[in-house]
Structure 1
Amino acid sequence: MIRVLVVDDDFMVARIHRGFVERVDGFEVVGTAPTGDEALTLVGSLQPDLVLLDLYLPDAFGLDVVTRLRAAGHTCDVLVITAAKEADAVRGAVRQGVVGYLLKPFTFADLEQRLQTYAAERARDLGDELTQEQIDAAFGSPTVGRAAVALLPKGLSTETAEAVGTALREAPDTLSATECAEAVGISRVSARRYLEYFVASGRADVTLRYGSTGRPERRYRAR
């Protein structure tokens, strides 16, 4: 189980977030904290794997709490959950190495997707000696994934692009639009739009599989 600490000064919001997390398989909430100081204390005593951190706390700005966590030697991951849309806050979160940045308000599906992606990344076996591609992936800069969706065409969402990128990277072989749609939970037409975007931007390759009848099937593979 992945142990989670929820940090939010609003009691009702924290309870909702706790309920969301506990609906996702493989995750358990080990505590909640309304302030930065209490978050630091609970991280020390509970040793969570992941902290869901609001930035607007009554005693500190959330990113300052991350700095204090690292200074204290805590290595737990941090997923920011906040209403802060300012570019400086986002850039600061990136510099602090947070694993995600989710804007309030959000749905259960929004958080579930990010938790599942986090769990998949956490479970990935990197081995002892790595190739450059594996190193790039470990640093969150795979050719298909978070770094590949910084600038998306109109009508495509970052969240769905991340999910499609994950499905494409984790496919044991090539992936069709239909298989991608089933894995991500979107329509085949939408899946193909994202897959073709990855091909057009150089993050994926496409091949044709010919059957006995009909059009050849387009199969996609992450570069």
Structure 2
Amino acid sequence: MIRVLVVDDDARVAHNHREVVESLPAFTVVEVAHSASAALAAVERHRPDLVLLDLYLPDESGMTVLRTLRAPGASGHPVDVLVITAVRDIEQVRAALHGGAVHYLLKPFPLSALRDQLERFAAAHQRLTRIEEATQGDVDRLFGLLRPTPAQTLPKGLTSTTSELVADTLRAADSDLSAAEVAERTGVARVTARRYLEYLCADGRAELRMRYGSTGRPEHRYRWVR
């Protein structure tokens, strides 16, 4: 499980973020904090893997929290930070980037945007646990997951609506699915389902597995990366 600390001075917003985190099977919320001092104390107490960090806090700026977590001599437990804020000042964005934030989400945003970032983080986290010595391809995929670029837009002929439909179908499945099974559940053609599945695999959010039977070609099976 990926352990998450939610930090936001607005209790309602913090509650919404907590619900998004806990809706994903790979994540658990260890605590919700509403101030910088409470956030730093919670990091020491729980040693989370990820902090969802607002910058507007009543006692100190969230940037103070980020700098403290990154300071020499800070806790030896590595913690990643996803900044979630209404602060649009470019200097703050630059400071968050230089401070090692994995991403910077600007409020207001649809909660699906937070879910997408969490799923990308989970995919990168899972890849890191599997790799002992990285190749350049491994590094490119990891940084692409954590900081997606415009180059990762949908290929020509694919739509975001159908992509989300296929992604939601894989996410909700109890086990891996074939392209034919995805096509049946979504109502799209099998060849279309396979194109979207291949895109999700290339994007790091899904994984291809080969099932070998006693005869014939191996079956392509796809699963959501949790």
Task: Please give the alpha-carbon distance, in whole angstroms, between the structure 2 residues aligned to 1:32 and 1:57.
Answer: 13
Sort the Cα spacing of 1:145 and 1:28 in 2 relative to 1 into closer, same or farther, 3 A.
closer
Question: What SS is found at the alignment partner of 1:6?
Answer: strand
Aligned-pair CA distance for 1:150:
7.5
- Structure 1 equivalent of residue 37 of structure 2: 37
What whole-Å deviation, never above 9, does each CA across 1:22-79 have from its counterpart, x for those lacking one? Answer: 1112111110111111100010001111100001111112122111112222421111
Q: 2:98 aligns with which of 95, 100, 106?
A: 95
Question: In the alignment, is the contact (CA less than 8 A) between 1:126 and 1:134 conserved in 2?
Answer: no
Question: In the alignment, is the contact (CA less than 8 A) between 1:9 and 1:35 conserved in 2?
Answer: yes
- Structure 1 equivalent of residue 14 of structure 2: 14
Question: In the alignment, is the contact (CA less than 8 A) between 2:124 and 2:146 conserved in 1?
Answer: no
Q: 2:83 aligns with which of 65, 80, 88?
A: 80
Sort the Cα spacing of 1:109 and 1:33 in 2 relative to 1 into closer, same or farther, 3 A.
same
1:120 has 2:135 as partner: no
- Structure 2 equivalent of residue 70 of structure 1: 70
What whole-Å deviation, never above 9, does each CA across 1:135-190 have from its counterpart, x for those lacking one? Answer: 4444x2x5x984642798xxxxxxx7xx99xx9xxxxxxxx8753535779xxxxx
Question: What SS is found at the alignment partner of 1:17?
Answer: helix
TM-score (norm 2): 0.62
Question: What SS is found at the alignment partner of 1:30?
Answer: strand
Question: In the alignment, is the contact (CA less than 8 A) between 2:5 and 2:51 conserved in 1?
Answer: yes
Question: In the alignment, is the contact (CA less than 8 A) between 1:34 and 1:57 conserved in 2?
Answer: yes
- Structure 2 equivalent of residue 149 of structure 1: 150
- Structure 2 equivalent of residue 53 of structure 1: 53
> For structure 1, which runs of at least 5 residues remain unmatched after alignment?
153-159, 168-175, 186-194, 196-223
Counting matched residue pairs gives 164
Task: Please give the alpha-carbon distance, in whole angstroms, between the structure 2 residues aligned to 1:10 and 1:105.
Answer: 13
Question: What SS is found at the alignment partner of 2:84?
Answer: strand
Task: Please give the alpha-carbon distance, in whole angstroms, between the structure 2 residues aligned to 1:76 and 1:180.
Answer: 36
> For structure 2, which runs of at least 5 residues remain unmatched after alignment?
154-159, 168-190, 204-226
What whole-Å deviation, never above 9, does each CA across 1:9-28 have from its counterpart, x for those lacking one? Answer: 11111111111211112111
- The answer to which structure, 1 or 2, has the higher relative contact order (CA under 8 A, 6+ apart) is 2
- Structure 2 equivalent of residue 26 of structure 1: 26
In the TM superposition, structure 1's runs of 4+ consecutive aligned residues that sit over 3 Å from their partners are 135-138, 144-148, 176-185
The farther-off stretch of 66-75 and 40-49 is 66-75
TM-score (norm 1): 0.63
Task: Please give the alpha-carbon distance, in whole angstroms, between the structure 2 residues aligned to 1:19 and 1:89.
Answer: 27
Sort the Cα spacing of 1:7 and 1:27 in 2 relative to 1 into closer, same or farther, 3 A.
same
Sort the Cα spacing of 1:180 and 1:51 in 2 relative to 1 into closer, same or farther, 3 A.
farther
Cα RMSD between the aligned structures? 3.1
Task: Please give the alpha-carbon distance, in whole angstroms, between the structure 2 residues aligned to 1:145 and 1:9.
Answer: 25
Counterpart amino acid of residue 135 in structure 2: T
Identity of aligned residues (%): 44
Counterpart amino acid of residue 89 in structure 1: Q
